[in-house]
Amino acid sequence: AQSVTQPDIHITVSEGASLELRCNYSYGATPYLFWYVQSPGQGLQLLLKYFSGDTLVQGIKGFEAEFKRSQSSFNLRKPSVHWSDAAEYFCAAYGGSQGNLIFGKGTKLSVKP
């Protein structure tokens, strides 16, 4: 079955430190891949997306993600985290015969001063 896995439920990093959030997918073929961010009480906002081509994609707010086909991964990174990045992050995939978005369970990011 198609699935998206985010192994880390909660991550805490210090402000200014680098960040990597993990995402793995299980699909028959390479799906479209997305990262969303959800701030408390808000809806989801698209950070970045991968469809094809360059495996390193740039997004908003200084985020980037790297697609690795061999690892079925699409990890999100940021070189220097800001306190305002504290939120929940969702990886999602789109593809397959049904053509609907499937989300991971999310990773909650806390940022300590």
Partner 1 sequence: DARVTQTPRHKVTEMGQEVTMRCQPILGHNTVFWYRQTMMQGLELLAYFRNRAPLDDSGMPKDRFSAEMPDATLATLKIQPSEPRDSAVYFCASGTGQTHYEAFFGQGTRLTVV
**Binding residue (CB under 8 A) for partner 1 from 34, 35, 63, 74:** 34
Closer of 1 and 113 to partner 1 (Cβ) = 1
- The residue range among 14-22, 28-36, 53-61, 75-83 that interacts with partner 1, by the rule CB under 8 A, is 28-36
Tokens for 37? 């961010």
Is residue 68 part of the contact set for partner 1 (CB under 8 A)? no
**Binding residue (CB under 8 A) for partner 1 from 28, 29, 40, 43:** 43
- The residue range among 17-25, 55-63, 78-86, 96-104 that interacts with partner 1, by the rule CB under 8 A, is 96-104
DSSP for the chain, written as a single string:
--EEE---SEEEEETTS-EEE--EEE-SSPPEEEEEEE-TTS-EEEEEEE-SS-SEEE-GGG-EEEEEGGGTEEEEEESS--GGG-EEEEEEEEETTTTEEEE---EEEEEE-
Rg over CA atoms, the chain: 13
Closer of 95 and 111 to partner 1 (Cβ) = 95
Is residue 103 part of the contact set for partner 1 (CB under 8 A)? yes
Is residue 94 part of the contact set for partner 1 (CB under 8 A)? yes
Q: How far is CA 2 from the centre of its chain?
A: 17
> Which positions lie near partner 1, rule CB under 8 A?
32, 34, 36, 42-46, 49, 51, 90, 92, 94, 98-106
